[in-house]
Amino acid sequence: MKYRFGLPKKIVFGATATFLLSFASAQTVSEGIINLDSHKYAKAKEIFNQMIAKSPTAENYYYLGYSYLSQFEPNFELAKENFDKGLAIDSKSYLNKIGLATIKLGKGQKASAITELTQVAKESKEKDAEVLYRIGEALTMFENNNDPALAITYINKAIEKAQKYGVPAYYYYTLGDAYRLTRDPGNAMTAYDRASEVAKNKASVFYRMATLWMAAKQYKKAEENIVKAINTDATYAPAYKAQAQYNKIFQKHEETTQSLINYTKYADEDPSTALEIAKLYFINSDFAESKATLDKVFDKVNDPIKFKLRAYLQYNENDFVNAKTNLETYYAKVEQSRIIPSDAGLEAVIYAGLASKEADAAAKAALMQKANEKLAVVKAAKDDTLDWDSEFAKASSGAAELQAKADAGPSNDNIVALKKQVAANKEDTTALFNLAMAYQEVSNWDGAALAWQKMNDLLPTWEPAYYSKGYALQQAGYKELAAVAFQKYIDVALTKTPAEQQALQETLFGAYYSVAYLLHSTDKVKANEALQKALAMKPDDKNSLLLQKELMK
């Protein structure tokens, strides 16, 4: 229908002003979302708070609440507070209803959340692209509670609705993320390609492509896209986080540290981000940096995960008593839905460490029973946050104090010089090898084991270092930890080609026999399994046959 008469000037002016205000608001929302995507959570919250101060609308409260769900560790309490405020202003606010349903998803109430999200879609008659998008996004936000197939349906509807005015790049980002959750990398990459056509900052696209290639173990393409992201926008923090993860895979310790320094530089100082950085430093074995980062924000954040991270650091320092206290505080304060299998792993090694220092036999046995129960939980979940077998053996055997014992053990001028050389360049594998051999020459087996461990970290596929570590630990008296090292040698050796394995037959036999011998009095099942494999290689070996008789008693 065509109107014959124009609007009066006053109304035209009013309509224009309303449009401009709406446009300015949209620009501000967009700016906030860009900051969230750049891991600048504090800046995004500042923007959304300013929007509320100027115009306390239901929509503005939604975006502030959403920012608390988007951060590394969601703050459900503050998110809910803002969604409730939004609904108090407009009881029909679809976005804030989505926000409350998203919290339910995060807390594990999946069926109820999906019912509520579906109801919002029905009430809105699926007319609003942003409503459809936010429903789809909610269904992808939580690793253990999601519905990516349903998310894809809603996001595609949102994209269709948004075509008239232009589809925001983040619609395609989330579509790609949803396809990743369905293990469909092809369609995920297609979604990211579509995002690249409309994204103002293509660093965000390259970053997502890089992490997708990394997940597919296509490391060359992952590296290429990380470089593209940084070259496109050197201040885009997530690219450095991806770079740190890439460097960690290839055991590039110093490069990983530098990537984390850059990530810290370009992400903002939101406390939740600082917690994430502290975790990343811990994973990279930069324990001093992890502790320093955590200490800076410990009193500024309410998230109970801070207690768990402190427990990890205290465990690493062999402070098992305080580690246990902090882990118990974490359990008491955290939402049950946020407890993960690795929490049981940490509990297991803390109990094992306490047992190693316990003099009373009954108390020691009780602690080890708890430790083994928790270890079974984390192993059943196939969690690989840490090498739990190795950590458990280290804690329970008392080997957690290897460094102190190595420093107190035999030394000479050559060892002192080599230690300085390694300290100057932690990735100098030649110096590490020579240091391990020098320790062995003076029978400082604790020092040798430590040096071989560092070699394992730098060269995780070089199997001789695992065998050498096993031998050093055996000589130092750490039977269970030595068995873990020999088993690791076996595991790595069996990834080699048949021809390479043939050349390793003698040491493979030695590793199987060593595992059997070291565990024959503590774990007869594992010992017998290893011994049978040794006998399959050398059926007439006298020591193996004697050990077999011992195991049959």
What digits encode the pLDDT tens for the residues 200-226? Answer: 889 999 999 999 999 999 999 999 999
The confidence score (pLDDT) of residue 72 equals 87
Q: Which residues contact 70 (CB under 8 A, 6 or more apart)?
A: 36, 41, 44, 141
- Domain that includes residue 361, residue range: 340-398
Helix residue ranges per DSSP H, 163-266: 169-181, 185-198, 203-215, 219-232, 237-249, 253-266
CB 397 within 8 A of CB 481: yes
Share of the chain above pLDDT 90, in %: 74
The confidence score (pLDDT) of residue 254 equals 85
- For the chain, how many structural domains are there in total? 1
Q: 507 falls in which pLDDT band (50, 70, 90)?
A: very high
Query: Is residue 433 a part of any domain in this protein?
Result: no
Q: Which amino acid is at 310?
A: R
Name 325's bridge partners: none
Average pLDDT over residues 239-258: 90
Query: Is residue 348 a part of any domain in this protein?
Result: yes
Average pLDDT over residues 350-356: 93
Query: Is residue 14 a part of any domain in this protein?
Result: no
What digits encode the pLDDT tens for the residues 154-170? Answer: 999 999 999 988 999 99
Residue 59 token pair: 């929509």
Average pLDDT over residues 25-38: 82
Residue 546 token pair: 């004697």
Rounded CA-CA distance 490/320 in Å is 31
Average pLDDT over residues 382-409: 84
What digits encode the pLDDT tens for the residues 83-120? Answer: 999 999 999 999 999 999 999 999 999 999 999 999 99
Is pLDDT of 336 > 50? yes
Name which of 524, 525, 527, 507 is nearest 516 in CA terms. Answer: 527
Query: Mean pLDDT in the chain?
Result: 90
Q: How many CB atoms lie within 10 A of CB 339?
A: 13
3 state SS of 142: strand
Q: 27 falls in which pLDDT band (50, 70, 90)?
A: low
The confidence score (pLDDT) of residue 16 equals 34
Query: Is residue 387 a part of any domain in this protein?
Result: yes
Q: 29 falls in which pLDDT band (50, 70, 90)?
A: confident
Residue 534 token pair: 């040794």
Average pLDDT over residues 363-374: 93
Query: Is residue 380 a part of any domain in this protein?
Result: yes
| DSSP code for 6 | P
Query: Is residue 226 a part of any domain in this protein?
Result: no
Choose the weakest-confidence range: 185-199, 248-262, 345-359: 248-262
pTM of this structure = 0.72
Query: Is residue 222 a part of any domain in this protein?
Result: no
Query: Is residue 121 a part of any domain in this protein?
Result: no
